[in-house]
């Protein structure tokens, strides 16, 4: 027997992700509505993610997961382009910071 996933009414249940508040980052309002390159550039900056671009990647993933089905296909595609740009930047930085043994 296959159950169809229907919309179920959640009563009194709150998700932990709705309570996440961050004071350690300085996100520009409306950042995730910009172009992929602008999102990647901003999330890789030290001002927004002081621990490096990997922290920015986590913020972007959290935003995409939190938006869920409310994201349009075009917006999701733009955010995935931003993820790709950001991951390229992370890979580029890891190559530059790798120490070689002598």
**Could you tell me the pLDDT band of residue 39, with boundaries at 50, 70 and 90?**
very high
**Which is nearest to 94 in space by CA: 53, 38, 57, 42?**
53
Please give the share of the chain, as a percent, with pLDDT higher than 90: 36
Whether 66 shows a pLDDT value over 70: the answer reads yes
pLDDT at 98: 59
**Could you tell me the pLDDT band of residue 82, with boundaries at 50, 70 and 90?**
very high
pLDDT at 26: 72
Mean pLDDT of 81-96: 86
pLDDT digits (tens, 9 = 90+) for 7-21: 656 666 777 766 766
The overall average pLDDT reported for the chain is: 81
């Amino acid at each position: 027997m296959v159950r169809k996933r229907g919309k179920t009414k959640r009563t009194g249940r709150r998700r932990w992700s709705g309570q996440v508040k961050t004071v350690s980052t300085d996100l520009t309002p409306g950042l995730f509505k910009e172009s992929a390159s602008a999102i990647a550039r901003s999330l890789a900056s030290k001002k927004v993610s002081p621990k490096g671009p990997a922290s920015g990647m986590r913020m972007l993933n959290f935003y995409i997961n939190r938006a869920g089905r409310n994201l349009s296909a075009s917006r999701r595609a733009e955010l995935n382009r931003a993820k790709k740009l950001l991951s390229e930047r992370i890979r580029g930085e890891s190559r530059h910071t790798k120490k070689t043994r002598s």
